[in-house]
Amino acid sequence: MVTETRTSRQERTARTSGALSLRAVVTALVVIAALLGVLTVAAAQLPSMWGHMIVMTLIWAGLATAWNVVGGFAGQISLGHAGFFGVGAYASTLLYVDYGISPWFGLLVAIVLGAALAWAIGIPSFRLRGPYFALSTLAFGLIVFHLSVHLRDLTYGQVGVPVPYDPSFGNMIFPDRWQYVILAGLFLVLCLAVSQAIARSRMGYRLAAVRDDEDAARALGVNTSRVKLVAAIFSGGMAAGVGTIYSQYILFLSPDSVFGIAVSIEALALAVVGGAGFVFGPLVGAAVLVPVSHIVLARFGGDAPGVHTLVYSAVLIFVVLLVPGGLWSLVERVKLRVRARNGPPVSAAEEQQVKEGELV
């Protein structure tokens, strides 16, 4: 009886943190590997528009996954992730353009810089809560944006930074889009693996406690400032790494393209639609919203400017209203139904929590 009680408690804790079981993780990785193979073949065979859409979906999924660590697991709504994304993009690009240093090394530098910047910003910002924290991260993003505009000797300002097209593995520049699918896909898998490791660790459970009730978590002995800061460090490092992948794919950087507030909003929206707090929620959100945006833009962009934004917003509102917990919460509901049939009963409160996204 003791073993059953402990197992039940562990399963409940894992659901609260948004983590997956070991069996589910293995299954998910196999499915992701298969999907990555399919997407690679599709990018090689389909017209360039579809290949571009696939690559951008993977890149945005990586950024949303990075945001999810601090925004979903810890419940700290960040509006400044464009700052980490842009710093990573500019760091690797400037090292490559100005000093000839390989972007592979620049990727490591970007991750370290993003993590260090998140640590520096997190120390004062995590003293704030709710809308005040969100506003502080928004201010951080705007400060970095304006610095990138005015520090022309370093960032080239609004002129932007073109990346010389010299395809080679060492330059992280490839002639075909399917190669970028592999690059972006592998980094996304790394981000998902880090998220899963965090979610199933003690820190993941502590982050879930902080998200649900920070005062209660502190009363139980959780060092809330520390766990939030650690989450921010991982989140900032991953976001900066995604920025490097983006810069090596687009081959041109400007302050608006990587530091703009739209980048931060996009990361937040994809995570919320997919299921903030679920490990695979941001991936699902990106898989839905990014293709919708690209397809509508390609179809109506020339004849009706702005219609893709209207459709994108409509889909976003539709999902948020009908599935408050995000699309991945539908999967959790199915899992609860299966557990109710084959295992211990599911309480009405637990089912309502999943439905409303409170157990994510």
Per-residue pLDDT tens over the stretch 260-306? 999 999 999 999 999 998 999 999 999 999 998 888 887 776 566 66
Q: pLDDT value at position 177?
A: 92
Which tokens go with 12?
Answer: 């409940």
What's the mean pLDDT in 303-320? 76
The answer as to whether 253 is a domain residue is: yes
Residues 6+ apart with CB under 8 A from 43: 50, 51, 54, 55, 176, 177, 178, 180, 181
Distance CA 314, CA 331 (A): 23
The answer as to whether 219 is a domain residue is: yes
Q: pLDDT value at position 23?
A: 72
Digit-coded pLDDT (tens) for 211-257: 988 989 999 889 999 999 999 999 999 999 999 999 999 999 999 99
User: Distance from CA of residue 224 to its chain's centroid?
Assistant: 22
Domain count, the chain: 1
> For residue 327, is pLDDT > 80?
yes
The answer as to whether 293 is a domain residue is: no
Q: 154: domain CATH number?
A: 1.10.3470
Whether 354 contacts 332, CB under 8 Å? yes
Mean pLDDT of the chain: 86
> For residue 342, is pLDDT > 80?
no
Whether 177 contacts 48, CB under 8 Å? yes
The answer as to whether 42 is a domain residue is: yes
Q: Name the phi and psi angles at 173, rounded to 5.
A: -125, 130
Q: pLDDT value at position 313?
A: 80
> For residue 348, is pLDDT > 80?
no
DSSP, collapsed to helix, strand or coil, labels residue 264 as: helix
The answer as to whether 229 is a domain residue is: yes
Digit-coded pLDDT (tens) for 75-117: 999 999 999 999 999 999 999 999 999 999 999 999 999 999 9
> For residue 181, is pLDDT > 90?
yes
Whether 289 contacts 312, CB under 8 Å? yes
| Count of CA atoms in the C-beta half-sphere (13 A) of 9 | 6
Q: pLDDT value at position 2?
A: 37
The answer as to whether 269 is a domain residue is: no
Q: pLDDT value at position 20?
A: 59
Read off the pLDDT band of 139 (50, 70, 90): very high
DSSP letters for 290-310: HHHHHHHHHHHTTTSTTHHHH
Q: pLDDT value at position 345?
A: 61
Percentage of the chain lying above the pLDDT 90 cut: 61
The answer as to whether 18 is a domain residue is: yes
The answer as to whether 298 is a domain residue is: no
Task: Give the containing element (helix H, strand E) for 218.
Answer: helix 214-219
DSSP, collapsed to helix, strand or coil, labels residue 173 as: strand
Q: What range defines the domain where residue 52 resides? A: 2-260
